Structures are given as structure tokens and as C-alpha cells.
Amino acid sequence: MDVVFEVASQRYPLDERAATLMAENLRVKAAHEPGAEGTRGARAVADAIELRLIEDTADPITLGGDEAEAVFYAPEVPNGGGDRLSALRHAVERLHDEWIR
């Protein structure tokens, strides 16, 4: 099952393994680095990923604002996601670049 993210009206699917690792990394970052860049939306994204996996739903997770920043600053998923994860990271990077201007 894929978890689908939506950034600026574009959809980016991640396979279950990559999405699960991202959720775990976001939770760890939020717990161990409170106040660091990208932690404000980290738990919300992790919760949304887990909800999609538990409910087996294809509803996209819309990333913008704090949630997009959380994915932008999330630790890399080791050996997971490949081109799909790269595409998602580039999309949130574009949002980040627009936001800081």
C-alpha cells in the first residue's frame, strides 16, 4: 500500500516501508529535538501517516506550512523510498524556499 502526500496540488506516493520509516523518524525528531526546525508539524505528519496505514485509505496527506517543514527537515530514510521520496523531498524543498523568501 502506498501513502500519498499532496504538495501544491501534486501527488507523491511513498511505499509503506518508506512512509513508516518517515513516521518513525518524525516522531523521534519531535521527541528528542523539541523546538528544532521542523518539529512543529512532525507529530501531525507521523499521525497522518499511521492513520492512512491503519485505515488502508488512499486519501492524500496535504503538506503545507509546518507539516511541509517537518518533512523538509526530517532525517533521511535509509535505503527507502528511492525516486519517490526524492520527488517528495524536492517538492517540500520548493515550498521551503518560497516560504523563507
Is it the case that residue 78 has pLDDT exceeding 80? no
Cell numbers representing residue 18 in the block: 518508506
DSSP secondary structure string, the chain? Answer: -EEEEEETTEEEEEEHHHHHHHHHHHHHHHHHSTTSTT-TTHHHHHHHHHHHHHHT----EE--HHHHHHHHHSPP-TT--HHHHHHHHHHHHHHHHHHH-
User: Does 92 have pLDDT greater than 70?
Assistant: yes
pLDDT of 95 reads 86
Which of 15-19, 76-80, 90-94 is the least confident region? 76-80
Can you tell me the distance from the alpha carbon of 59 to that of 72, in angstroms, rounded to the nearest whole number? 21
Tens of pLDDT, residues 11-51: 999 999 999 999 999 999 899 888 888 899 999 999 999 99
